[in-house]
Amino acid sequence: PHVVAKIAAGEVIERPSSVVKELVENSIDAGSTRIDIDLEVGGTELIRVADDGHGIEPDDLALAFAQHATSKLTSADDLFAISSMGFRGEALASIAGVGKVTLQSRPPALASGCEVRCDGGDLSAVRPWNGSPGTRVEVRHLFYNVPVRKKFLKSVATELGHVCETVTRLALGNPGLHLVLRHNGKLVYEVPATAGLADRIGLFFGAEVRDTLYEIDSGPGRQRVVGYVADPKCDRGNAKLQYLFVNGRWFRDRSLAHALQESYRGLLMTGRYAVGFLFLTVPPDSVDVNVHPTKAEVRFQENSLVYSLVRATVKARLLRENL
């Protein structure tokens, strides 16, 4: 109960991409090396995420849908030293409240697995399931019982676009992971495990971005930033290719976006944005990832130090290119 009390407001399932994010994060937390995402009609008809992770024991299967059922926290203090992606224990329960969910899982050590269905909160009996090791979650008819939210969904292309953005962030943040996205049976992205960060950037944003990248590294320290920035001549029009990650998790941060932009002062045409893929590593207890229900924003204990580190590192790298 103590843990629950410290957890903020409910998980937000706004659109298909929110479902994809939560399910893939669960797969990553389960130690998966390959994750397949299948969508139909922008994810409104079907979202299926299949992984090769450690699975769920048959006895725990029904429990996964319980509010605040998380196997990832043991004490309230853990909330401030989080290394797994999920931790609120709300995602599956929230998704099952707004869609028809089938959860199938087989821990690799077992000869067979089990499945359970949850439709709008009603749980079925647990039945045997003969699938390969890992977990498969299928979500059908998202928002079938929440007409208001269904009405706010945009076109298939727009919803697919949101999913693509979510998959991009997950693929950039998890090098080593094999990710496949299909839409209506057609391959959208396949990111092999062997693709490094620069390859992944090339895969999502094209060779014209990849070929202008400079690697950055602030060097070891309490805070460290590594990643890539692009040469100022890399012109993406008014698109904003700025991706920030902290301890492997994507986040949004106006202050650090400003730090990146400031490093390019005088180098860009007006109205253009600096291109950067920045990966911060900070001590887990110095960053609060629990300030936003979807974890899109974080709070750094040493905000101004992190700001200076990013600006100085990028600036120094551009100077080395005589820019």
Using CB under 5 A as the binding rule, whether residue 275 contacts Mg ion is answered as no
Separation CA 285–CA 129 (nearest Å): 40
Spell 130-148 as b/e; 16+ CB within 10 A means b: ebebbbbbbbbebbeeeee
User: Measuring CA to CA, which residue among 95, 91, 85 is closest to residue 68?
Assistant: 91
**Closest distance of CB 78 from ligand ADP, Å:** 11
Query: CB under 6 A: which stretch of 84-92, 230-238, 279-287, 294-302 binds ligand ADP?
Result: 84-92
For residue 42, the partner it binds in ligand ADP, Mg ion, none, with Cβ less than 5 to 8 A by kind, is: none
Kindly state whether residue 27 participates in binding Mg ion, applying the rule CB under 5 A.
no
E strand residue ranges, 134-177:
134-140
User: Which residue in the set 27, 242, 261, 313 belongs to the binding site for ligand ADP (CB under 6 A)?
Assistant: 27
Minimum distance from CB of 101 to ligand ADP (Å)? Answer: 11
Q: Does 91 interact with ligand ADP (rule: CB under 6 A)?
A: yes
The letter for the amino acid at 174 is N
What's 86's DSSP letter?
A: -
Q: Which residues of 163-172 are buried (b: 16+ CB within 10 A; e: fewer)?
A: bbebbbbbbb
Q: List the structure tokens of 272.
A: 């253009």
The minimum distance between CB 86 and Mg ion, in angstroms, equals: 2
Phi (first) and psi of residue 275, to 5 degrees: -100, 125
Query: Which structure tokens are listed for 231?
Result: 């040469």
Binding mask 29-68 for Mg ion (x = CB under 5 A): ----------------------------------------
Q: Answer whether 226's CB lies under 8 Å from 263's CB.
A: no
Q: Give CA–CA dist 28/246, Å, rounded.
A: 16
- C-beta closer to ligand ADP: residue 27 or 261: 27
Nearest alpha carbon to residue 249 among 208, 188, 291: 291
Q: Does 277 bind ligand ADP (CB under 6 A)?
A: no
Residue 26 binds Mg ion, judged by CB under 5 A: yes
Question: Which of ligand ADP, Mg ion, none is residue 90 near (CB under 5 to 8 Å by kind)?
Answer: ligand ADP
Binding status of residue 90 toward ligand ADP by CB under 6 A: yes
Restricting to residues 132-171, name those near ligand ADP by CB under 6 A: 135
Is residue 51 a contact residue for ligand ADP (CB under 6 A)? yes
Q: What is the DSSP annotation of 184-225?
A: TTEEEEEE-TT--HHHHHHHHH-HHHHTTEEEEE--SSSSEE
* Nearest to Mg ion of 91, 118 (CB atom): 91
Return the number of other C-beta atoms located less than 10 Å from residue 152's C-beta: 11
Residue 27 binding target from ligand ADP, Mg ion, none, CB below 5 to 8 Å by type: ligand ADP
- Determine the interface stretch with ligand ADP among 80-88, 205-213, 298-306, 315-323 (rule: CB under 6 A): 80-88
Closest separation between CB of residue 42 and ligand ADP, Å?
A: 22
Q: According to the binding rule CB under 6 A, does residue 72 interact with ligand ADP?
A: yes
Q: Interface with Mg ion by CB under 5 A: which residues?
A: 26, 86, 91
Which residues contact ligand ADP (rule: CB under 6 A)? 22, 26-27, 30, 51, 53-56, 64, 69-72, 86-93, 135
